Amino acid sequence: MSLAVRMLQPCQAPPAGDERDVPVPLWSAEGPVAILGDDRDAEGFPVPVAPSPRTLFGPRGCCLMRAHGPLWIADTGHHRLLGWQCCPTEDGGAADWVIGQPDFFSEGRNARTDPGPTTLNVPTGMSAYGDGLAVADAWNHRVLIWRRLPLNSHCPPDLVVGQEGFENVAINRGRSTPRADTLYWPYGVSAWGEALAVADTGNRRVLIWFTPPERNGQPADLVLGQAGFDRREENAGGEPSAMSMRWPHALARWGDALCVADAGNNRLMNFLRDGKGGSWLSLHTEA
């Protein structure tokens, strides 16, 4: 598995203001300047994907914090995060940091041990969040939040949402119905200022925290896709509509809208921000 990276020339300065904004265009007709994780033999055939600082297995998320790094990648199949201090400029560049495994050469769900703050089980979506990072740890049914960007291996997160604590990993906290403080296969995450949006895929909804969570297990403030926090039916129990969802997977900010990839309904949904000072998001949706 491989990931292509395109970046500005090293001599090109970041834009004024918020330097975390990556300048555009990010791509070029010349192709990527570096490909990560593409491990092949002398004849060009892929070799078995064994974990190392240079290999990736089914990566599903990445986050380039600034134009030249750091870069974090969710190496999903190896159940770990790999970090590069600087954005690589050569193919197959080795990662500097690993989170989720005891070393670069180990793999396995939750590092083949009991779940904890630095173990992962199918990490997928990730997003810069304030000065830190948010990661959807999908099969642990939680989102991990670092208030400051991790710049070392094995750096533990500060908070977890979706679970009561770092050692808890049950679907919807072991309950038969969801609540504002539970998750079921969260695959996507996206930040918008202080707000955090999570694609709670298994519960067929999107949860939103208006401000950064301050404690483990803090409940969400808003639900999209269901009539209430305690519902999880496909398409809210009815036919597809402008408010319902079926397996939302990925999230992204798009101008003044929150864009939701509603995979089960084969569509993208744009939730527009309420500009009247009322709710954080209006429920006007373009499907």
Residues forming CATH 2.120.10.30 domain(s) in the chain: 114-287
Whose structure tokens read 């921000």? 273
User: For residues 26 and 87, what is the distance between their CA atoms, to the nearest angstrom?
Assistant: 13
Distance CA 162, CA 142 (A): 5
Which band of pLDDT confidence, cut at 50, 70 and 90, is reported for residue 44?
confident
Calculate Rg over the CA atoms of the chain: 19
pLDDT in tens, 132-187: 999 999 999 999 999 999 999 999 999 999 999 999 999 999 999 999 999 999 99
pLDDT of residue 69 exceeding 50, the answer is: yes
Q: CATH fold of 114-287, please?
A: Neuraminidase (2.120.10)
- The closest of 202, 36, 59, 184 to 123, measured between CA atoms, is 59
Rounded-to-integer distance, Cα 144 and Cα 151, Å: 16
How much is the pTM?
A: 0.86
DSSP state of 264: G
* ∠ CA 161-165-171, rounded to 5°: 65
pLDDT tens-place string over residues 80-138: 999 999 989 888 999 999 999 999 999 999 999 999 999 999 999 999 999 999 999 99
